[in-house]
Structure 1
Amino acid sequence: MSNRQILQVFEQYQKSRTAFVQTVAELASRPQNIETLQNAGVMSLLRPLLLDIVPTIQQTAALALGRLANYNDDLAEAVVKGDILPQLVYSLAEQNRFYKKAAAFVLRAVAKHSPQLAQSVVDCGALDALVICLEEFDPGVKEAAAWALGYVARHNAELAQAVVDAGAVPLLVLCIQEPELALKRISASALSDICKHSPELAQTVVDAGAIAHLAQMILNPDAKLKRQVFSALSQIAKHSVDLAEMVVEAEIFPAVLTCLKDPDEYVRKNVATLIREIVKHTPELAQLVVNAGGVAAVVDYVGDCKGNVRLPGVMMLGYVAAHSENLAMAVIVSKGVVQLAVTFAEEPEDHIQAAAAWALGQIGRHTPEHAKAVAASNILPKLLASYLRADASEDLQTKAKKALKNILQKCVHLPALEPLLHDAPPNILKHVVGQFSKVLPHDSKARRLFVTSGGLKKIQEIKAEPGSALHEYINTINNCYPEEIVRYYSPGYSDQLLQRVEEFQPVQ
């Protein structure tokens, strides 16, 4: 056999390997092929190709493995058990930029599924190699490395700490300053995944100077970048007063409020979440957001959206109102009660109704004026209906009951309380009757209305334990009226009258 023929054998072998690995990579991109590839033993066939002498075959083999591992945790587990990760980590330091991107993709695809698989990525020494990739000249390599590091960090505080300990944070902060949009997005996302677990991890990101650079991007035209920026800022702000104050000090208000009207739904939701995470901490932070026009903007936001996107806005209004009478009044003045009542009535999901009920309770619990503003929205019968609904979630029933009690303890707006007299169970009825017993002794107009509306008659029908608070309230109300009026509306009185009619002997 001539030298030429020998070379042809090797050329043919290379072409076959190339064709095989390209076809597998293509097949692995379609979910319907995954099971067949797995059954054919594709993992063990791809592994030696990671060490192939031809760089394109190495890269394509890594790409195919990444696509397989990305599909489900069983295949990711197979990559780990096949001892493929150490080879990838070794190659991350040695190979060209195309291979590095493919290798980082495999590590990300394995890490994404579970803390256990992410731990396998850590255990094989991948973090140090990925952090070195963040210093590469090629933005695509940096992006692939940042993505893999974020997928490791997202699972729990221990894994996020491992990413921090590997020195990733300062380099990720540098990456968000790079011109490439995709790199900015993924780096901001990775920082968000690190921040979310604990105040200490968030502080590490803050200490690296992340807030100022994130704040500069809140008005960037790219929606996907803004999603990640607002997510990262809210993951920082949520942990403590100090961290929230640092976010506010980056002068994000009032500019951030314009993003509540962003065309992108996820941008809007993440902005509302950021505002919620800031106002929840202290009255001072809430007041700062109110002064910037934040309550009116969030009320509009809640009115403009539906479903889970509404939730952070609803919660934000509740947190603001919870702090003080003045802040609750700011929510009322901005028509927050009306919008929360609409949300409660419109939303079919129990958890959103529960949030709206909680927020209304926070507004109504301060003074009679606050309670009247809530009660006037005709929400009390709806709260009662949700509390009594047999198929309502436990959370909705609990929040609706608590909101009712909060509002009823302050509410002296009798027209709103009247319907509850007829439907409320004893534990709620006590609060309703208690409010009537406070108002009626001092208000003659209210006393007259209480008779004509059927309230006095209803009170006489209530069976209260002698000596109970409810019994005392009923006595207080009855003492507001002449004895014959109370007797007239008492159960059985009409029968007594009829009896007297029958027994009456007219004068002959």
Structure 2
Amino acid sequence: MSQRQVLQVFEQYQKARTQFVQMVAELATRPQNIETLQNAGEPGARTRVASRALSPRRLRPAALPVELLGSRSVGTGVRKSIHSFQRVFGGQAERVKLPDACGRCALSLFPSSLHTGVMSLLRTLLLDVVPTIQQTAALALGRLANYNDDLAEAVVKCDILPQLVYSLAEQNRFYKKAAAFVLRAVGKHSPQLAQAIVDCGALDTLVICLEDFDPGVKEAAAWALRYIARHNAELSQAVVDAGAVPLLVLCIQEPEIALKRIAASALSDIAKHSPELAQTVVDAGAVAHLAQMILNPDAKLKLSQLVVNAGGVAAVIDCIGSCKGNTRLPGIMMLGYVAAHSENLAMAVIISKGVPQLSVCLSEEPEDHIKAAAAWALGQIGRHTPEHARAVAVTNTLPVLLSLYMSTESSEDLQVKVLPHDSKARRLFVTSGGLKKVQEIKAEPGSLLQEYINSINSCYPEEIVRYYSPGYSDTLLQRVDSYQPLNN
């Protein structure tokens, strides 16, 4: 046999492995094929599956290396290559037919062990010397594990996870994405399977992937971390201990929308289990960046409801109450952004005792830019309905706002935030009940508070001020009673 013929044997062997793993990955995308692939380890089912799906006509790649045996010049070296092929694709064959005198051949590779099914075949190919075969094998494993918890458990029992984790940090970006997909697909099904991922040391490697240059690798790692953290507080704490939170905060600052989405969702799944975990997310500086994402045009990045559902509002309010100065500013802005989104979310801030805390910030903070942020946030809470405005008014915030507006020491920005100088904002102040509440404030004639009220009233027509003054409706009724219509 010539050197070319010998080399061709191995070329065909490589081609067969490539086509085999590609076919399995493709079959795993169709739900109707999953049961057949899952039962491929059963002896009876294996024979039926092999006779149908792995026949040369339907899946020629598995038979390609064997067709080379058609030559009568088959040597010992080629036979050893074929036996190596059999070992890679399932151990010892139950039946092997080598070429007959006519140069024909047929090969059936039916592994005898129940444990040498599709998972073991793919596990072997994860160690292949060809990178594309490794990547496609990982992709196929992920698609199978993603389908149900039985297949995900099979990945764990076949000791595939340690192999993936070991290779994850060393391989190229395509393999990293495929391997992270396998971890995500296994971990999503149950806390036990997610714990298996933690036990094999995957968290440290996934956190390293969050620092990868490729956004796709970061996204795949964030997906896996999210599915681990979502189950319970213990797994979330493991993700936190691995150092994932600061890197997830960096991910939400990346320009890629898909990466922003999953990083934000991962932070939500970490924070939802306990106030301590929520505080960890707040301490990492996530709130300021999440608040900016609320107004993002992408629908999936409108995270205000997500933040509320995860208990983030209460955690932020606690944070505002326990700190001073500029540390408060991101939390104040976040409450304003959440409240601006809808009546229900504004009410969630009210129920969580956000208004009193914002009022404290308004009174305590010496810096005008923090006072302006608190005034703006209170405006976003109170602007929706009279009930929302009343919730702001009952905290005795209006006198404070008035004094800030009238103070000559207040910055222009702060004065604008207290009572914006535009017609739409003034109209909103009226329709939300703010002007009516101002008229209800009882102030001594000639007092400083009365001067403040007069300054507010001067922003509106006199008849509007009278209309919202207490007792004005009774005055109108008295005029009706005393009115004498002219007789024709």
TM range (shorter): 0.5 to 0.7
Q: Is the 8 A contact 1:176 1:183 kept in 2?
A: yes
Please show how residues 63-462 of structure 1 align to structure 2 within 5 Å: 97=13, 100=16, 104=20, 111=27, 125-126=52-53, 133=62, 167-345=117-295, 347-353=296-302, 355=303, 357-359=305-307, 362=310, 363-366=312-315, 368-370=317-319, 376=331, 378-380=333-335, 382-383=337-338, 386-387=341-342, 403-410=345-352, 411=354, 412-414=357-359, 415=374, 416-420=376-380, 423-424=383-384, 426=385, 430-431=387-388, 433-434=390-391, 436-437=393-394, 439-440=395-396, 453=418, 462=432
Would you say the 8 A contact 1:265–1:309 is kept in 2? Answer: yes
Relative to 1, partners in 2 of residues 1:199 and 1:98: Cα closer, same or farther, differing over 3 Å? closer
Pair 1:460–1:243, CA change in 2 (3 A): same
CA distance in 1, matches of 2:182, 2:15: 30
Q: Is the 8 A contact 2:21 2:136 kept in 1?
A: no
Partner Cα separation in structure 1 for residue 470 and residue 345 of structure 2: 41
Structure 2: distance between partners of 1:138 and 1:286 = 48
**Secondary structure at 1:305's aligned position in 2?**
coil
Helix, strand or coil: the match of 2:252? helix
The equivalent position to 2:467 in structure 1, one of 492, 500, 507, is: 492
Change (3 A) 1:131 1:256: farther
Deviation per CA, 1:428-477: give whole Å up to 9, x if none: x635643553x439x9857855999469998886579xxxxxxxxx99x9
Residue 288 of structure 1: SS of its match in structure 2? helix
- Partner of 2:210: helix, strand, or coil? helix
Q: Secondary structure at the match of 2:253?
A: helix
**Distance of 1:251 and 1:131 partners within structure 2:** 39
Q: Cα distance, 1:408 vs. partner?
A: 3.3
Normalising by structure 1, report the TM-score. 0.56
Contact 1:223 1:264 (8 Å CA) reproduced: yes
In 1, the alpha carbon distance for the partners of 2:314 and 2:292 equals 19
Query: Is the alpha carbon distance of 1:123 and 1:141 closer, same or farther for their aligned partners in structure 2, counting shifts above 3 Å?
Result: closer
Aligned length: 356
The worse-fitting range, judged by mean Cα deviation, of 297-306 and 450-459 is: 450-459
Q: Which amino acid aligns with 2:349?
A: I
- Report the Cα distance in structure 1 between the residues aligned to 2:249 and 2:257, rounded to whole angstroms: 15
SS at match of 2:127: coil
Note if contact 1:170-1:208 (Cα within 8 Å) is conserved in structure 2: yes
Cα contact 2:440–2:470 (8 A) shared by 1 = no
Where structure 2 has 5 or more consecutive residues not aligned to the other structure, the ranges are 1-11, 38-48, 66-80, 91-113, 322-327, 360-373, 408-417, 421-425, 458-464, 476-488
Q: Which amino acid aligns with 1:378?
A: M
Write the distance in 2 (CA, Å) between the matches of 1:249 and 1:420.
46
1:236 Cα offset (Å) = 0.9
Structure having the higher helix fraction is 1
Q: CA RMSD in A?
A: 5.0
The secondary structure found in structure 1 opposite 2:280 is helix
8 Å CA contact retained: 1:279, 1:319: yes
Does structure 2 conserve the Cα–Cα contact (< 8 Å) formed by 1:315 and 1:356?
A: no
- Equivalent-residue separation in structure 1 for 2:161 and 2:267 (angstroms): 25
Label 1:405 to 1:444 Cα distance change in 2 as closer, same or farther (>3 A): closer
The 8 Å contact of residues 230 and 274 in structure 1, kept in 2 or not, is answered as yes
| Residues 175 and 109 of structure 1: CA distance in aligned 2, closer, same or farther (over 3 Å) | closer
Amino acid at match of 1:298: L
Q: Give the fraction of aligned pairs with identical amino acids, expressed as a percent.
A: 18
Q: Distance in 2 between matches of 1:117 and 1:236?
A: 19
* CA spacing shift, 1:132–1:249, aligned 2, 3 Å: farther
Shift of the 125–251 alpha-carbon distance from structure 1 to 2, 3 Å rule, reads same
Mapping 1:443-482, distance limit 5 Å: 453=418, 462=432, 482=443
Contact kept in structure 2, 1:320 and 1:328, CA below 8 Å: yes
Equivalent AA in structure 1 for residue 379 of structure 2: P
Q: Given the superposition, is the C-alpha separation of residues 268 and 480 from structure 1 closer, same or farther in structure 2, using an over 3 Å criterion?
A: same
How far 1:368 sits from its partner (Å)?
Answer: 2.9
Deviation at 1:270, TM superposition (A): 0.3
Task: Give secondary structure in 2 for the equivalent of 1:216.
Answer: helix
SS of 2:147's equivalent in the other structure is coil
User: What is the TM-score with the length of structure 2 in the denominator?
Assistant: 0.58
In structure 2, the CA distance between the partners of 1:259 and 1:248, relative to structure 1 (3 Å rule), is same
Paired letter, 2:231: H
In structure 2, the CA distance between the partners of 1:104 and 1:289, relative to structure 1 (3 Å rule), is closer
Kindly provide the CA deviation profile for residues 338-374 of structure 1, in whole angstroms up to 9, marking residues without a partner as x. 11123334x4311222x46513663113463247768
